[in-house]
A and B are shown apart, each in its own frame.
Chain A
Amino acid sequence: MDKNTALRDARLEIEEFNYAYADTLDRFDVDSWVEYFTEDALYHVIARDNEESGLPLGLIYCEGKAMMKDRAYALLNTEMFAPRYLHLSITNTRALKIEGDLIDAAANYTLIETLVEEPSRVQQVGKYRDIFKRTPNGLLLQERKCVFDSVMIDNCLVFPV
């Protein structure tokens, strides 16, 4: 298979992955969200100004699936926040490079949140910088770095993107 065909196939596969991922989060199913990652994955949500200034602070920074599980547990069992609808769109998906069982990829994402008796609003817009890993259980995220343009956060980000 030539390189371009392989990248196109990978993109289709990643698009399927991202659509399922978005649907999982739209349903607040953060327990299942954790299962999109490898055990030692890095999940990092970082403001674009920090990223571009070389500052490492994350809005969310999970080293490994265990930390993601702890966030999922807190969201479902202990955190206090207003009821809401979530609408995560993932577009412009690209497979950039394939090396062994790893695929570098990127996509744009937009999270629209709707609160009770409030108009829908953009909570976060950004880009994923992804490393996917091919495993016996299909593609999993080895790393998802979410670099968001919407540096000024509207109150708070409750669910992951």
Chain B
Amino acid sequence: MDGDSIIRDTDGRQPRAWPEDETLIPDWIYTDQDTYDRELEKIFLGRHWNYVGLDCEVPEPGNYFRSYVGPLPVVVTRDMDGEVHVFENRCAHRGVEFCREYRGSADSFICPYHNWTYNLQGDLTAVPFRRGVKGHGGMPKDFDMAERGLRKFHVATRGGVIFASACDDMESIEDYLGPVICPEFDATFDGGEMKLLGVHRNILPANWKLYQENLKDPYHATLLHTYLTTFGLFVSSNESNIPTDKYGRHGGLLSRRPDGRPDVSSEDAENMQAFKKTMELNDPRVLDFVREFDSKWSGSVLTIFPTLTALRQTNILNTRLLVPRGPNEFMMIWTVFGRAEDDEEMVRHRLRQNNIFGPAGFLGIEDNEALKFLQDGLRKSLPRDGLALLGDDDEPTDTIITERAIRGMYRYYRDVMGF
């Protein structure tokens, strides 16, 4: 597709252009329908591994669940041989989104409209009245079932995490994540058997990229979130690291919480409105830390381009899938898990701690509200460029008052999108 035509402003205004200055991010990338359409082609169907779910969501042969590649509905299945498959949730006949359950178990999928039937690999296995009735009607003689299956994606898994790609010659997940991020990914997804605890879903009225930015933004983490700062989960005085891969597309916010309360300087405390030095919990069990991973970091947030964030914070383990629904809205699917060896008390500990995250969590409420306010500003006000000025691009990666990782993502984004 011709790159110039897709970003051309159809109202006769000037073509959209990216500012020369890399600390400026233009508004239109968050609100523009043409840009959104181009992301489908260049990003979600491009040279990327799209996170779609976890092995522990399809533990048994025949299990399936609904998921998405970018905005496209897919079904993730485990076939009778234990292989995981990802295919479009759209009948090859007329396009019906046939799988309507959140999750379940089946040996085939039957489109309810005309009963076209698919197996767990996404192959078409039956078409009613294929030969017509009494020699009349039916499919053309050369109708080939093998050519009419569901659109399938390539699948790769690593550490129990399932990825899908439309690209025929994708590199391995290890190479996709790169040597900086892959070890941090492996530290959380260490091959131990995971156990699904549940799923949250919410609609966030904001562009999907803002969520990736939010988790590449240590600046806000120290300012907006009382729970992170006051209880030392992520705070200026922690040992921290903000690595990115060589392209800038994946990143991490890594932090090591202190034993006890954080030792925040009075100067830093003054800067952090959210920091409540004297706040005490009535039930401090919420913050208990059971050491279970071979990692120096007690908190690890990974942003894996395009739409995965993976969180390990104390004993909270979750993945978040960002599902774009137009430029101004996305759905989040939070998949929360523990480990197969968890006893009843450990499960309850994780459930208690999960009050911090999720769409009613102490951080979740604040992030979701902030991003809604941000999209309101982008959508309604006179266009301008957002600022991502903090820190330098060549500074040490343990610098936390920085927007380096956001600039890195947009360097990559511009390259892929041809902007």
Contact = CB atoms under 8 A, between A and B. Distances in A.
B198 A57 contact: yes
Instruction: Tell me the interface secondary structure of chain A in the complex.
Output: mixed
Contact of A155 (B103, B196, B204, B283): B204
B276 interface: yes
Counting chain B residues whose Cβ lies within 8 A of the other chain, the interface size class is 35 or more
A46 B227 CA distance: 22
A9 to B, nearest CB: 35
B396 to A, nearest CB: 30
Interface stretch (A10-18, A23-31, A62-70, A94-102): A62-70
B198 A155 contact: no
A50 B365 CA distance: 20
Interface string A28-50: 00000000000000000111011
A158 B360 contact: yes
A57 B197 contact: yes
B345 to A, nearest CB: 11
Interface string B223-238: 0101100100000000
B351 A56 contact: yes
A59 B352 contact: no
Contact of A57 (B199, B276, B283): B199
A59 B358 contact: yes
Contacts of B354: 57-58, 61
A55 B360 contact: no
Contact of A153 (B197, B202, B279): B202
Contacts of B360: 45, 59-60, 153, 156-158
A82 interface: yes
B131 interface: no
A70 B205 CA distance: 28
Interface in B260-309: 274, 276, 279, 281-283, 286
B282 A67 contact: yes
Contacts of A59: 200, 358-360
Contacts of A2: none
A145 interface: no
Nearest to B332: A153
A5 interface: no
A1 interface: no
Contacts of B106: none
Interface in B317-355: 331, 336, 347-348, 351-352, 354-355
Contacts of A152: 201-203, 331
Interface stretch (A72-80, A85-93, A129-137): A72-80
Given A60-B360, A156-B202, A67 B283 contact: yes
Contact of B200 (A47, A63, A80): A47
B274 to A, nearest CB: 7
A81 B355 contact: no
A144 interface: no
A71 interface: yes
A45 B336 CA distance: 15
B369 A82 contact: yes
A157 B359 CA distance: 6
A58 B373 CA distance: 26
B352 to A, nearest CB: 6
In the A-B complex, the 8 residue pairs with the smallest Cβ-Cβ separation, listed nearest first, are: A57-B198, A66-B282, A66-B283, A78-B226, A55-B198, A153-B202, A157-B360, A50-B198
Interface of B: 102-103, 196-205, 224, 226-227, 230, 274, 276, 279, 281-283, 286, 331, 336, 347-348, 351-352, 354-355, 358-360, 362, 364-366, 368-370, 372-373
Interface of A: 45-47, 49-50, 53, 55-64, 66-67, 69-71, 73-74, 77-82, 151-158
Given A74-B362, A153-B203, 19 more contacts: A47-B201, A50-B198, A50-B199, A55-B196, A55-B198, A56-B198, A56-B351, A57-B336, A59-B200, A63-B352, A69-B282, A69-B283, A74-B226, A78-B230, A79-B366, A80-B365, A155-B368, A156-B364, A157-B365
